[in-house]
Structure 1
Amino acid sequence: MSKGRVHRRRRVVSVATLAAVGLGAAVGGRALVAGATDHATATRWLLVAGAVFVAEVGFLAAHLDPGRATAAFAPPNLVTLARGGLYAATAGFLVVPPTTPAVRWAPAACYGTGVALDVVDGRLARATGRTTDLGARLDRGFDTLGFLVAPLVGVVWGRLPVVYLSLSAARYVYRAGLAWRERRGRPVGELPDSRVRRPLAALQMGFIAVALAPVLPTTVVHPASVLVVVPSLATFVRDYLSVTGRLDRTGSGTGPPDGGSMK
């Protein structure tokens, strides 16, 4: 058997193993949701969460190097994959009404735990010297997913105003704008360094988790969400103007590269 075929088989086995583990977790999650609601509601949760999880598995398969299939099992990447599972679980509550205390706390618990693990996987990768391109791609991809599904749940449940979804859309608009310029043959520069991009991303993650929790009244959360989202949207605008050459980078308060998880 050729080396290339062996590598491809290892990639299939790695992805299938992780998918099986995730499927088992999803079945367990359905049982928990059924205990807090009913079987029909739990099945709806499983369908949505399962669809998101399948997309995550596809994302992993697309970015997993056949020659380094075992990289998916590196501890930092396993933590990142757990984050993806928690965000998929969060997405399932799009179709679950907040009728019981356990359900009302569930999205905040799932998303908030995923946010906490976002700190763990990066530190673990640096501490063990296991920083990889796969880990970086998974981290960015799942950050973007979390910024999409958690605010959607917040809006559907009335915990966040619709305007907050502008943050979820901002990354896609940003990327679409750059792709449009590239198709037209126009120059696109490098993303500028920034001291504020990562702290703002962390602020948004923390705020979303708090907003989903049934603690603060919506009369507080809704106005606060508008104030919180403005600086991040302004950063997207600044970055777009910079990479398209419309903004002079000198004197703009830039600093060391910080990863920019919302990009």
Structure 2
Amino acid sequence: MSGGRFTRHRRHVAAATVAGTVAAGAGIGGWLFVAEAGTRADADRWLVVAGAVFAAVVGFAAYHLDDPDDALAPPNLVTASRGGLYAATAGFLAVPPSTPAVAWAPAACYGTGVALDLVDGHLARRLGRTTALGARLDLAFDTLGFLVAPLVGVVWGRLPVAYLSISAAKYAYRAGIGWRRRRGRPIGDLPESRLRRPLAALQMGFITVALAPVLPVSVVHPVSLVVVAPSLVVFGRDYLAVTGRWG
């Protein structure tokens, strides 16, 4: 093995070791928390679901990893932490909100991930470490969070099923673009929008508040339908724009 290839292999091993150590520590910590706050059976179910989602997160990151140095870049580590937090959020799909500590956990995990979303991009620009991997992870984990957190909200009765339309819209948009690309159909540039990011931030903040056992369901459910509507309109407009049917 040449020196360059050996160094590259060593960096891959270092990145995998760091990821494995952090994942093991987080998994054990999460299991202990759920077992203490709920039951061991709850903790086992949490670990199975969270572990499966985290494995998908790691697989996605590994598939898109070209330069092993990118895996250890501070901004990408922050972004990867978001993926882990959203995997932890997903674990509560299999755990009932039986105690106050458990009831607060999904909001805490998802809300922390949302807060880190404000950090990774700023950190990348500040350090001059913007990478293609970071951009892919950021988009993928945004989408993952928009899927698992509302699902937990629906399963726990904190959100109405209709709110899942925001999750469906994101996946339908990406599936539609992929379908057109595979068939060689034209795909235009996404138009500039002053609403897209503020609306995404609004949804993230609302989901966090909805998951927290603070506001009554009688308030959260009707408000969720009002909050989700503008984002669905923007998704529809964006798809029509990139497919040449708008403007």
TM bracket, shorter-chain basis: over 0.9
Give the distance between the partners of 1:61 and 1:246, measured in 2 at CA: 36
How large is the Cα RMSD of the aligned pairs? 1.3
* Offset at residue 102 of structure 1 (A): 0.3
Between the two proteins, the alignment pairs up a number of residues equal to 246
2:26 maps to 25
Equivalent residues of 1:74, 1:130 under 8 A apart: yes
Give the distance between the partners of 1:9 and 1:59, measured in 2 at CA: 21
SS of match in other structure, 2:89: helix
Equivalent residues of 1:15, 1:57 under 8 A apart: no
* Offset at residue 181 of structure 1 (A): 2.4
* Offset at residue 241 of structure 1 (A): 0.7
1:130 maps to 129
Structure 1 position 154 matched with structure 2 position 153:
yes
TM-score, with structure 1 as normaliser: 0.90
Equivalent residues of 1:53, 1:85 under 8 A apart: yes
* Offset at residue 182 of structure 1 (A): 2.9
Q: Equivalences for 1:36-185 in 2 at 5 Å?
A: 36-65=37-66, 68-185=67-184
Residues 17-66 of structure 1, C-alpha deviations (whole Å, 9 max, x = no match): 2122112111111001000111111010001111111111111111111x
TM-score, with structure 2 as normaliser: 0.95
* Offset at residue 12 of structure 1 (A): 4.1
* Offset at residue 6 of structure 1 (A): 4.4
Give the distance between the partners of 1:81 and 1:180, measured in 2 at CA: 28
- Classify 1:32/1:199 alpha carbon distance in 2 versus 1 (closer, same or farther; 3 Å): same
Give the distance between the partners of 1:61 and 1:105, measured in 2 at CA: 31
* Offset at residue 14 of structure 1 (A): 1.0
Give the distance between the partners of 2:133 and 2:28, measured in 1 at CA: 27
Residues 71-110 of structure 1, C-alpha deviations (whole Å, 9 max, x = no match): 2111111111111111111000000000100000000011
Identity %: 70
Gaps of 5+ in 1: 249-263
| Amino acid aligned to 1:180 | W
Gaps of 5+ in 2: none
Give the distance between the partners of 1:114 and 1:146, measured in 2 at CA: 8
SS of match in other structure, 2:31: helix
2:35 maps to 34
Give the distance between the partners of 2:239 and 2:173, measured in 1 at CA: 7
SS of match in other structure, 1:230: helix
Which portions of structure 1, spanning 4 or more consecutive aligned residues, are displaced by more than 4 angstroms?
A: none
